């Protein structure tokens, strides 16, 4: 069975001005997401600035999200890094604090062969009992999970899904051929939710859901229901805002946008920095046009 169907938000991690994690705001974001109909929450993904969190903070954020959600929606912990042993440390830590599943991105910087990638995922999977969602995002890691490699990886019992963010619709189609009751395909790109779901995908792990959770859930639900006309209308309506959310490196624009909604103070840890003034103005314009109050 799928870990979730519909929308999982790749949740931002609120921070105070001094860079400390703002756990009060984190609790509020989790509660708001659940109230708005989000089907699952990813803690400590790329959008959650996981690469700037110390190990103890990484696990602490996951634990805080698990506790606040209190079983109402699945919590998926981002625990992928470019060192297999470090990924195992984070993965077992996430399991110990109650995460429901893991999201494991491909190794970055040092890269790997297909053999190395398989062994990397196999060793992590053997270290935990939790289900694992693969994460392929070549634009950030310079590593791709081909359909042929994914077909091998799904022979590992607790690999149950993939967040597909290659942007290559031909590859997406090949991977969707592997979809089954035991293996779910999720869009990792907000601008390709409908195409992927029309090919058999189960939903999206979403950035825009940080500011439009209800609307994104409804888009995914329309696609799940086979109402592709409505889903197409909703997908196209989101495009200008999606483009604005990626006009600077993620998560700078989306965290700024969550701030514009008044839900957090949009503080970052270096090397991420504040959004450019023109980005803020573009976000205000597109958020207002989409019907969000800023």
Which residues are the active-site residues? Answer: 135, 163
62 Cβ contact list (under 8 Å, min separation 6): 43, 44, 75, 77, 93, 94, 97, 99
Q: Is 241 helix (H, G, I), strand (E, B) or coil?
A: helix
Q: Which residues are annotated as a binding site for pyruvate?
A: 47, 205
Closest listed residue to residue 13, CA positions, set 4, 2, 3, 23: 23
267 Cβ contact list (under 8 Å, min separation 6): 14, 15, 16, 17, 19
Q: Is 159 helix (H, G, I), strand (E, B) or coil?
A: strand
Contact assessment for residue 156 and residue 119, using Cβ atoms and an 8 Å cutoff: no
Closest listed residue to residue 19, CA positions, set 267, 260, 271, 259: 267
Work out the number of other CB atoms within 10 angstroms of the CB of residue 227.
13
């Amino acid at each position: 069975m799928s870990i979730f169907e519909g929308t999982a938000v790749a949740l931002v991690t609120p921070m105070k001005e001094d860079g400390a994690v703002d756990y009060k705001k984190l609790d509020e974001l989790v509660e708001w997401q659940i109230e708005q109909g989000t089907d699952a929450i990813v803690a400590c993904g790329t959008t959650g600035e996981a690469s700037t969190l110390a190990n103890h903070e990484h696990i602490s954020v996951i634990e805080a999200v698990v506790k606040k959600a209190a079983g109402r929606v699945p919590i998926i912990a981002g625990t992928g890094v470019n060192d297999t042993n470090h990924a195992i440390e984070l993965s077992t830590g996430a399991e110990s604090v109650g995460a429901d599943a893991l999201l494991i991105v491909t190794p970055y910087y040092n890269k790997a062969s297909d053999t190395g990638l398989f062994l990397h995922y196999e060793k992590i999977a053997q270290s935990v009992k939790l289900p694992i969602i693969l994460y392929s995002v070549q634009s950030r890691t310079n590593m791709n999970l081909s359909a042929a490699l994914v077909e091998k990886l799904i022979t590992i019992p607790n690999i149950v899904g993939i967040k597909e963010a290659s942007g290559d619709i031909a590859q997406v189609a090949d991977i969707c051929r592997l979809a089954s009751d035991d293996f779910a395909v999720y869009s990792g790109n907000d601008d390709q939710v409908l195409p992927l779901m029309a090919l058999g995908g189960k939903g999206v792990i979403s950035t825009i859901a940080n500011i439009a959770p209800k609307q994104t859930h409804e888009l995914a639900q329309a696609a799940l229901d086979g109402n592709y006309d409505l889903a197409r209308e909703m997908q196209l309506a989101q495009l200008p805002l999606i483009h604005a959310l990626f006009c600077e490196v993620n998560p700078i624009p989306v965290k700024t946008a969550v701030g514009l909604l008044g839900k957090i103070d949009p503080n970052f840890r270096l090397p991420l920095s504040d959004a450019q003034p023109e980005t803020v103005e573009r976000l205000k314009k597109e958020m207002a046009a989409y019907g969000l109050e800023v």
